[in-house]
A = this chain, B = another copy of it.
């Protein structure tokens, strides 16, 4: 049977970080990459101010690693020991900045600017969506969230408007310039969604839907990956690894509260997950204070805390008329509350050494 297994099961691939000498030229680096490919590795170059590494996926046996050591330009060869490999902190020289292209200039998540994504839980109607988009943009939001397909506990609840919602989102993007973040739930929808939205969201309930992770990994769209309700931090990173193993390195992690015994809040925001993730991975980390607390009055304090703890951004539910929302209305902010939050947030962003987009000047002019 062990014979059999050897032929059937794939070899567990390793990830090796190859450090190069500081004076290595770009040309030499490309030669080295070519040599690594000949050794059977796929190699990704990660370049920082003072250091350059090649992150190599392949057969990380000791013999193979010894072979790498003698390649010209190689300074060091270090296998990644963590179960998450491409996501591990050591697999990138600098923290990853996920760039979301946009007609009015890209939005960078993970850089100096704190990025706020805002919008309704679900897309319900185009005028409402447009009104919300204008309002959140004018308050400083850089992307628009809006659900087309909604994961609902009950089959009898509103399930989202689907393709119709995607078209509304595209038209509102056209008009406001805000990139669109929307959740994908079904492997069969990934291709269409990847064409229509700017960031593919994988929801908490699908954090370990491995076929879905694999499918979004095959696209080149940035992925916003939410932590599962009872997922350990390590499991969140393993979920990111699923996406990255397919070649898509544009993963944004999102802490959104975990399930505990405490009934005062919808979930318990694991604020420590932010600095823990920052130590474990190079991927950007944002926070969803709306789902974590489940109460509008908690969105402000949880947002300020997230930024103070080092978050790269926030995703906040805003609805022009929360009490009429078809889903999660009881946790959404009204636009005026959101604008107020953004003002306070600016102060904490500065304290944390970040910048925050202020009110859009284009909107301010009469």
Contacts and interface: CB of A to CB of B under 8 A. Distances in A.
A245 to B, nearest CB: 4
Q: How large is the interface on A (under 10, 10 to 19, 20 to 34, 35 or more residues)?
A: 35 or more
Contacts of A106: none
Interface string A225-257: 000011011110010011001000000000000
Given A230-B259, A270-B268, A310 B321 contact: no
A157 interface: yes
Given A5-B326, A9-B326, A308-B348, A264 B275 contact: no
Contact of A298 (B229, B272, B324): B272
A265 B260 contact: no
Interface in A127-177: 127-128, 151-159, 161
A100 interface: no
A321 B230 CA distance: 32
B8 A124 contact: yes
Contacts of A70: none
A67 interface: no
B308 A125 contact: no
Given A185-B210, A264-B273, A268-B268, 5 more contacts: A10-B159, A151-B208, A151-B210, A258-B261, A347-B351
Interface in A244-302: 245, 258-265, 268-276, 279, 292-293, 297-298, 300-302
Nearest to A4: B125
A338 B125 CA distance: 52
Interface string A174-196: 00000000000111100000000
A48 interface: no
Nearest to A8: B161
Contacts of A347: 351
Interface in A64-120: 83, 85
A38 interface: no
A264 B276 contact: yes
A2 B324 contact: yes
Contacts of A355: none
A154 B297 contact: no
A301 B306 CA distance: 9
Contacts of A46: none
A87 to B, nearest CB: 11
